[in-house]
């Protein structure tokens, strides 16, 4: 029961229709096409609202189900739309847009700190990456300035798809050691920042991103934590 991933067609789509295919045993709702991104790759699931003839419910988060299904999780005590009902999906855009800005900024953080990434997390206002970095950055102010300069170049963000075999032949594309690129469909999505001679990053990713780096706005590098002998956790905050 595969759900069409509408957020991959257009991460800026805020409203869409859908049909209820089933309910899960845990009280989740599965639609034929989901506007809501399901938790994965360090990015939280989306929330928002479903409306149908005679009812509505708040969606608190979204998770992956079995066999390619995307499960919308209603807030506790909310009614469920009947199976077969046509619904209107309304995305919590403020939350999603925050995720998009932070996620794209973290891709750029992996550019200015060109070290293997061992973990990460994305929020609507901040995020972090864990690096194989024995020593903390010597100059956090300079690092922040370098990252902000990349953002301010207003580089385009585009995507393309390659086969899983092509990814296997180019393992250097994978920066994250703890999160594997989404597989299983025979192809893998690449997210590119910049183009031509101005390309600064290219890596597999199934998440949502802004269209241009300038949309990220102002950022601030937060604390750098030691997370083991060879690891440092670097926090990034949206600062506007």
The pLDDT score that the predictor gives to residue 55 is 97
The pLDDT score that the predictor gives to residue 188 is 86
The pLDDT score that the predictor gives to residue 183 is 54
The pLDDT score that the predictor gives to residue 167 is 74
The pLDDT score that the predictor gives to residue 50 is 98
Q: Are residues 123 and 220 in the same domain?
A: yes
The pLDDT score that the predictor gives to residue 187 is 80
Q: Are residues 106 and 121 in the same domain?
A: yes
93/100 Cα distance (integer angstroms): 10
End-of-domain residue from the set 51, 76, 91 = 91
End-of-domain residue from the set 26, 59, 91 = 91
Q: Are residues 145 and 64 in the same domain?
A: no
CATH number for the domain that contains residue 70: 2.40.30.130
Q: Are residues 185 and 201 in the same domain?
A: yes
Rounded to two decimals, the pTM is 0.92
Q: Are residues 126 and 10 in the same domain?
A: no
Q: Are residues 117 and 75 in the same domain?
A: no
Q: Are residues 72 and 21 in the same domain?
A: yes
Q: Are residues 71 and 177 in the same domain?
A: no
Cβ burial, residue 181 (10 Å; 0-12/13-18/19+): middle
CATH number for the domain that contains residue 208: 3.30.980.10
Q: Which residues of the chain are modeled with pLDDT < 70? A: 1, 175-185
The 3 state secondary structure assigned to the chain is CCCEEHHHHCCCCCEEEEEEEEECCCCCEEECEECCCCCECCECCCCEEEEECCEEEEEEEEEECHHHCEEEEECCCCCCCCCCCEEEEEECHHHHHHHHHHHHHHHHHHHHCCCCEEEEEECCCEEEEEEECCCCCCCHHHHHHHHHHHHHCCCEEEEEEEEHHHHHHCHHHCCECCCCCCCCCCEEEEEEECCHHHCCEEEECCCCCCCEHHHHCCEEEEEEEECCCCEEEEEEEECC
The pLDDT score that the predictor gives to residue 182 is 62
Domain that holds residue 12: 4-91
CB 37 within 8 A of CB 73: no
The pLDDT score that the predictor gives to residue 138 is 82
Q: Are residues 110 and 209 in the same domain?
A: yes
End-of-domain residue from the set 57, 91, 125 = 91
Q: Are residues 60 and 165 in the same domain?
A: no
CB 117 within 8 A of CB 129: yes
Q: Are residues 115 and 61 in the same domain?
A: no
Q: Are residues 128 and 65 in the same domain?
A: no
128/105 Cα distance (integer angstroms): 10
Q: What is the count of structural domains for the chain? A: 2
């Amino acid at each position: 029961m595969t759900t069409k991933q509408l957020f991959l067609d257009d991460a800026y789509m805020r409203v869409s229709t859908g049909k209820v295919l089933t309910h899960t045993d845990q009280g989740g709702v599965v639609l034929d096409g989901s506007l809501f991104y399901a938790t994965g790759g360090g990015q939280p699931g989306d929330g928002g609202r479903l409306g149908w003839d005679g009812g509505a419910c708040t969606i608190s988060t979204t998770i992956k189900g079995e066999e390619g299904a995307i499960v919308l999780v209603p807030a506790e005590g909310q009614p469920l739309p009947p199976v077969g009902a046509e619904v209107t999906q309304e995305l919590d855009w403020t939350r999603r847009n925050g995720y998009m800005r932070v996620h794209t900024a973290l891709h750029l953080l992996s550019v200015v700190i060109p070290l293997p990434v061992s973990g990460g997390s994305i929020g609507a206002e901040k995020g972090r990456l864990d690096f194989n970095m024995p020593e903390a950055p010597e100059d956090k102010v300079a690092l922040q300035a370098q990252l902000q300069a990349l953002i301010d170049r207003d580089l385009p963000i585009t995507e393309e798809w390659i086969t899983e075999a092509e990814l296997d032949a180019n393992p250097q594309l994978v920066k994250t050691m703890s999160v594997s690129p989404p597989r299983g469909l025979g192809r893998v999505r690449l997210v590119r920042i910049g183009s031509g001679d101005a390309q600064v990053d290219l890596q597999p990713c199934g998440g949502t991103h802004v269209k241009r780096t300038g949309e990220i706005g102002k950022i601030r590098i937060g604390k750098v934590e030691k997370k083991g002998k060879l690891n440092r956790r670097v926090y990034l905050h949206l600062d506007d």
